[in-house]
């Protein structure tokens, strides 16, 4: 199956960096025995991850600054007050 870059970029809010990070993380999950959500006959984990993203079988959700801080065990950044 051919993976189209436009579909992949749509799945990652237009960011090739988010695409690379999401595909890498998903490929690692697949390699560790994670469930595969597309027909993959002898494909490598990185190709499977890209196919899943392109077909909408998995989604990417970016963390907010508060969520990133919580995950890192730090205090959430304070919002600037409007004057």
pLDDT digit string (tens) for the chain, length 83 residues: 456 888 888 888 888 999 999 999 999 999 999 999 999 888 999 999 999 999 999 988 888 888 888 888 877 666 666 66
User: What is the pLDDT, as a whole number, of residue 69?
Assistant: 86
Is the residue at 26 inside a domain? yes
Number of domains in the chain: 1
What confidence score (pLDDT) does residue 37 get? 95
Contact 60, 49 (CB under 8 A): no
Is 83 a member of any domain?
no
Domain range for residue 46?
5-64
In a domain, 72, yes or no: no
SS3 state of residue 39: coil
pLDDT confidence of residue 82: 67
CA distances from 50 to 11, 62, 69, 72 (A): 10, 17, 28, 27
């Amino acid at each position: 199956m051919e993976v189209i870059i436009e579909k992949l970029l749509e799945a990652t809010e237009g960011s090739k960096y988010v695409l690379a990070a999401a595909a890498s993380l998903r490929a690692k999950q697949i390699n560790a025995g994670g469930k595969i959500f597309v027909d993959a006959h002898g494909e490598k984990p990185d190709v499977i991850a890209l196919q899943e993203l392109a077909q909408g079988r998995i989604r990417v959700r970016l963390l907010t600054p508060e969520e990133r801080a919580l995950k890192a065990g730090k205090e959430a950044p304070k919002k600037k007050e409007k004057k």
